[in-house]
Amino acid sequence: MKTLSTFAIGFLITGGLHAQIALDSGLVAHWELDNNALDAGPNFFNGTAVGPVAAEDRFGVPASAYQFNGTSDYVDLPTVFTTPPEAVTFSAWFRVPITYPEGKLIHHADKGEFSMYTDSNALVVAVHLGTDLPNGWIWTSQKFGNDHWHFAAGRWEYGQSLELYFDGVIVASVPAPDMAMMDPGPNFLASLGKYRYSGVSYYAGLLDDVRIYDRALSNAELDSLNGNFSTAAPQQPASTGVELFQNQPNPASSSTTITFEQPTAGPVSLRVYDLNGKLLTELENATLPAGKHSYTVDLSNVGAGVYFCELRSNGSVLTRKLLVE
């Protein structure tokens, strides 16, 4: 059996999810790390890459993430705050190898000090409050499996809490006292990939889409950044007989058709994401009969760029790049 459905994806993008989730609100900096350290946010806090090499991102797009070697690679950044913030959210996509040293993914140390780092098979987020005392740090952590992609965010608010969002869930939280974030002074700025104070704690692994906000993002906003992206190890669909065909035409301008085939009846999820992993639309979420199923997507209100179609069927997860010009 073959079915054909038509969807206007542009309406969903402009009138649905993105109208509710304002991910530009409070954005201070966004380093996409697409083979450069330029800031895609509103303030142009451009960095300088020292050593990291371009690598595939979580979607398999070449030169869309940075690989750090754990010994000398880092990105030098300017300070992003003029005064210590009263709330901050800092997030990143990362992937580490089977074995790796303790290393800083993010370390901001001027006009407010906070960091995200790997340590003993755990990810740690920390903020430095009050004066320069041993008990000035508050932190929380989460154990994780390695050698595949994870999304993590630290969220701190004055007098409230420090929380760690990890792969779609708030996994850890500690109370925050009524103390401002420490200001180490103008001699310390920020970096990705190493401890800012000296050449130690170099990060080994992949890093992508680093963001800093001057507010505490909501759970819904963090979910949108996470994008329901599957962080499990890649699945091999060959044995299931499920096939997701390349959309036609590709690249597309006004519309494109997505077709897949499943050998037996079963539940199906068919979704489209953007490069940041944000869900744009869900084309199907139902139990469908065996056979081919096609969906024509209206792209007239979609900006040019790279998108991804994800199919979940019969235990398989398959993706295809969808190019809009």
Q: Where are the domains of the chain?
A: 2-15+233-324, 26-214
User: What distance in Å separates the CA atoms of residue 73 and residue 49, rounded to the nearest whole number?
Assistant: 8
For residues 106 and 275, which has the higher predicted lDDT (pLDDT)?
106
pLDDT at 280: 80
Residue 284 has pLDDT above 60, yes or no: yes
What's the pLDDT score for residue 12?
Answer: 35
Residue 116 CA to residue 92 CA, distance in Å, equals: 9
At 244 the pLDDT is: 86
Q: What percent of the chain is predicted at pLDDT more than 90?
A: 39
CA–CA dist 47, 55 (Å, integer): 18
CA distance 67 to 206: 5
Question: Would the pLDDT of 9 be above 50?
Answer: no
Task: Give the pTM.
Answer: 0.68
Q: Which of 15-24, 126-135, 269-278, 280-289 has the lowest mean pLDDT?
A: 15-24
Reading the block at residue 32, the tokens are 């996409």
Q: Over range 159-172, report the average pLDDT.
A: 89
CA distances for 64 relative to 39, 109, 280, angstroms: 14, 26, 20
Predicted confidence at residue 73, as pLDDT, reads: 95
Among 179, 66, 36, 32, which residue's Cα sits nearest to residue 113?
179
Mean pLDDT of 43-48: 96
- Reduce the secondary structure of 245-304 to three states and give it as a string: CCCECCCECCEEEEEEEECCCEEEEEEEEECCCCEEEEEEEEEECCEEEEEEEECCCCCC
Fold of 26-214: Jelly Rolls (2.60.120)
Specify the pLDDT at position 1: 43
pLDDT at residue 89 in the model:
97
- Helices and strands in the chain, H and E counts: 3, 23
Q: Above 60 in pLDDT, residue 13?
A: no
CB 268 within 8 A of CB 242: no
Summarised one tens digit per residue, pLDDT across range 199-245 is 788 999 999 999 999 999 999 899 888 875 544 443 333 346 888 88
Q: Report pLDDT for 137.
A: 74
- For 41-47, what is the mean pLDDT? 95
Tell me: pLDDT of 74 over 90: yes
pLDDT at 232: 45
At the topology level of CATH, where does 2-15+233-324 sit? Immunoglobulin-like (2.60.40)
Higher pLDDT, 35 or 1: 35
When pLDDT is averaged across residues 25-43 and rounded to a whole number, the result is 95
